[in-house]
Amino acid sequence: MSAAEPRDFADVLAREGMLVTTTMGVSMRPMLREGRDVIVIRPLPHGERLRVGDVPLYRVGDRYVLHRVIGVHDGWYAIRGDNCVATERVSDAQVLGRLEEWYRGERHGSPADPLYRCYWRLWVGSWPMRRVARRARALAGRVKRLLMRTVGKAEKNGTTGAAGTAGESGMNGTSRRLR
């Protein structure tokens, strides 16, 4: 099967019963790598619903998205990309198919693989810790930017302080103690 244009994904799934394409975007890192991994999507059997850990292909407006189910509810799913912060609410009607296998070079992956099941359980379970770490990094970045602005303003106004008393600063800019 030739690679399908994104607008044709639903048609290909309906016509051929499967979709084989490469990934786009970074929302499912570290599991899937943009442009590097080949994925195989198949429609859900009639009447079957997704389960926690499944990775469905679904439509949001005119875009197709591939993210992980983190919660199953009556008529909808809570879904989040492995590399995303926001949780999405996706209805059963939006779901076109489910990730059944993927390839990275010669390596093959499948949801039936015990190592994969361990990976997604750890990844979903570690979300609260990853969220705290992400917020801490963001806060550290804001503090750093604030400090850099403050230091920059102080240097511009000449309020950073004197280099020291006479004899303490060497010719090469290093400090020395007087004895």
8 Å CB contact between 85 and 132: no
- Structure confidence at residue 83 as a pLDDT band (50, 70, 90): confident
Calculate ∠ Cα 60-82-16, nearest 5°: 50
Residue 165 reports pLDDT greater than 70: no
Q: What pLDDT was estimated at residue 94?
A: 95
pLDDT band at 1 (very low <50, low <70, confident <90, very high): very low
Q: Which two tokens stand for residue 26?
A: 């970074």
pLDDT of residue 39 exceeding 70 = yes
Given a contact cutoff of 8 angstroms between Cβ atoms, the answer to whether 127 and 79 are in contact is no
Q: What is the mean pLDDT of the chain?
A: 83
pLDDT of residue 2: 39
Cα separation of 122 and 108, whole Å?
Answer: 20
**pLDDT at residue 30, as a whole number:** 79
pLDDT at 152: 77
How many angstroms separate the CA atoms of 44 and 92, rounded?
11
User: Structure pTM?
Assistant: 0.68
pLDDT beyond 70 at 151: yes
Reading the block at residue 130, the tokens are 């990853």
Average of per-residue pLDDT across 101-121: 86
d(CA 55, CA 26): 15
